[in-house]
């Protein structure tokens, strides 16, 4: 399958990665750093793919929150961090996860304002 990822920015500290594949089995789930034992029930709600995505994204320095909806991943970064390094890691993680499933990934970058 060809996976498309389109990046949009809501405000300076939030970016959304819109996908043409379902990444969450739940309508909406928020995850805050750090993930803990209480996160496990919510990780089950987003399903196997969503759980892998959330756990991977929370390893990125600067990611304060990840929110999953069926066709999107929203990231909120910490105030002191820059998007350049976070964005690269998010795309790298999503590419790796989908490539391992045999999918081709196309990224539509954030449009400059």
**The pLDDT value given to residue 112:** 58
Instruction: Write out pLDDT tens, residues 79-91.
Output: 999 999 999 999 9
Instruction: Write out pLDDT tens, residues 29-73.
Output: 999 999 999 999 999 999 999 999 999 999 999 999 999 999 999
In whole angstroms, what is the distance from residue 29 CA to residue 100 CA? Answer: 24
Q: Tell me the average pLDDT across 95-113.
A: 90
Say which CATH architecture domain 2-108 belongs to. 2-Layer Sandwich (3.30)
Q: Tell me the average pLDDT across 15-35.
A: 96
In whole angstroms, what is the distance from residue 33 CA to residue 59 CA? Answer: 9
Q: Where do the structural domains in the chain lie, given as residue ranges?
A: 2-108
pTM for this entry: 0.94
């Amino acid at each position: 399958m060809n996976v498309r990822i389109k990046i949009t920015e809501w405000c300076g500290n939030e970016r959304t990665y819109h996908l043409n594949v379902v990444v969450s089995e739940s309508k909406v789930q928020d995850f805050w750093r750090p993930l803990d034992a209480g996160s496990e029930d919510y990780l089950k709600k987003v399903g196997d793919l969503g759980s892998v995505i959330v756990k991977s994204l929370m390893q990125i320095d600067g990611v304060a929150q990840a929110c999953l909806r069926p066709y999107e991943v929203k990231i909120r970064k910490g105030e002191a961090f820059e998007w350049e390094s976070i964005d690269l890691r998010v795309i790298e993680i999503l590419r790796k996860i989908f490539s391992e499933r045999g999918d081709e990934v196309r990224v539509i970058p954030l449009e400059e304002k």
